[in-house]
Structure 1
C-alpha cells in the first residue's frame, strides 16, 4: 500500500504535480482517470460499460449518489464487481466526514488485495472527488491544498462545492490528530499513571505528617493504700 513514508520529498512533489504531458479535452469529463495506482475517479457514465470496466481491470466500485438519483445511478453489474453504495445529498450541508470511513475501508481492502477501484458519482465533478481528495490526503499525509491539486492534476474538471471544500479542510486536522495519537498511544496514559502515583505518594506523606511521631503510653497509677501502723503488733 502506498504512503508518504515510501517517498522522498522530490518524489512526493512529482506525485502531486502528476503527468505533465496530458492534454485535457472536454470529452474526457465522461471518462475516468487514474488518481493513484489502483484508484480511479470518474462519472457514472464510466461505470455503465462492462467492456470498459473490464478493460481497466476494475474489481470494486464505490457508487456515490444523491438519493433522488437512486433510480438511475445504481450498480449495473453486481455479478461482476463488488459495490459500495453511499446515499448522500449533493449539497453543501451534507456531512461527508461521517460517511468517509466506510469508503476508505472499502478502498483500502480492495487495493490491499490487489484490486482496482472506481469511485464515481453522477458527474464526477463535486461529490465523488471530495471523497477521493480526502483519501489521498490521508494516505500520502498531504495538506488539503496538495491533495486537491493532486486530484485536479489528473481529472482537471473536478470542483467540490463550498461545503465539501470546507469539510476537506477540516479533515486535514482530523487525520493529522489521529496519526499523532496512533504514533504515541501510551504517552498520555503513562503521564496520567505517573501523576496518580505521585498523588498517592503525596497522600502518604500527608498522613505521615498528621500522624504523631511518638505514641506516649498512658501511665497506669495504682491508688495508695494507707498503711496501718499497728498492723504488725500482735
Structure 2
C-alpha cells in the first residue's frame, strides 16, 4: 500500500447476516503484516509498531495495543510517531467480565475513526486479543452478530482467531448486549420523535402561519455521546 492511497475494504452493511467467508489469497508471512479491516482501522501484530515505514505508508496516527499483565514488559510504547494507547486486560478472561473493556475500547475507537485518523489495533501476534476487540467494535457499530463480525475480519486477515474458550465466548456474550443497546436506542429515538412532534403542534398552535423552517422538528439524534476514558498513553 502506498502512503498516498490506503485501499480500505468496504465496511459491512448494518446488520448484515450472514457474512460469507471468502478466503483471501493468504500466505504464512501475511500474519506478520497488518491488514485494513474498515476505513481508518488496521489489525496486526505488535512488532509493526517498530516498523516506521509501515506506520508512515498507512498514515497511522494511533496505536491501540491490547495486552495482559504477562506482556507489560515487552509490549511497551516505542519512539513511533503514532500515539500509543494501551488496553490492559486480565490474563484469564474466562474468570472475569471483559465486556466493560470492549465498551471502553469501542468508545475510544469511535472517536478516532470519527476524526478520520488511522489506527492500528494490535496485540502480541494480532490473532487473539486484538481481533476480538475489533470484532466487538464491528458488533457495536455495524450491528453484526459475533460470527458475522469475525467472518468479516477473516476475509481481510485470515489468521485472526479469538481463543475458543476465551474471547470467542465473550463475543457471544456481548452479542445480546449490543442487540439490547440498539433496541433501547431505537426506543429513545422514537420517544424523541414523539416529543418533537408534540412540540411542533404546540408551536403551530401558538404561532399559526408565522412558523418557519427553523421551528420545524429535527430528526432524532441517533449519535450517542461518547464518554471519555483515561487510558495509559505515551508519545
Q: Please report the TM-score for the alignment, with normalisation by the length of structure 1.
A: 0.69
- 1:132 is displaced (CA, Å) by 0.6
Residues 21 and 132 (structure 1), Cα distance of their counterparts in 2 relative to 1, 3 Å cut: closer
State the distance in 1 between where 2:125 and 2:112 align: 23
- 1:21 is displaced (CA, Å) by 8.1
Cα RMSD (Å): 2.6
Structure 1 residues without counterparts, runs of 5 or longer: 189-234
1:104 maps to 2:138: no
Partner secondary structure for residue 74 of structure 1: coil
Partner of 2:144: 142
Partner of 2:184: 181
Residues 187 and 56 (structure 1), Cα distance of their counterparts in 2 relative to 1, 3 Å cut: closer
Alignment of structure 1 residues 32-47 onto 2, 5 Å: 32-47=34-49
2:160 paired residue among 154, 158, 161:
158
Partner of 1:88: 89
**Which stretches of structure 1, 4 residues or more, deviate above 6 A after TM superposition?**
none
Q: How many residues are aligned here?
A: 180
State the distance in 1 between where 2:190 and 2:103 align: 26
Point out the structure with max Rg over C-alpha: 1
- Contact 1:63 1:75 (C-alpha < 8 Å) held by counterparts: no
State the distance in 1 between where 2:139 and 2:174 align: 9
Partner of 2:116: 114
Q: Please report the TM-score for the alignment, with normalisation by the length of structure 2.
A: 0.69
Partner secondary structure for residue 184 of structure 1: helix
- Contact 2:61 2:82 (C-alpha < 8 Å) held by counterparts: yes
Higher relative contact order (CA closer than 8 Å, sequence separation 6+): 2
- 1:22 is displaced (CA, Å) by 3.5
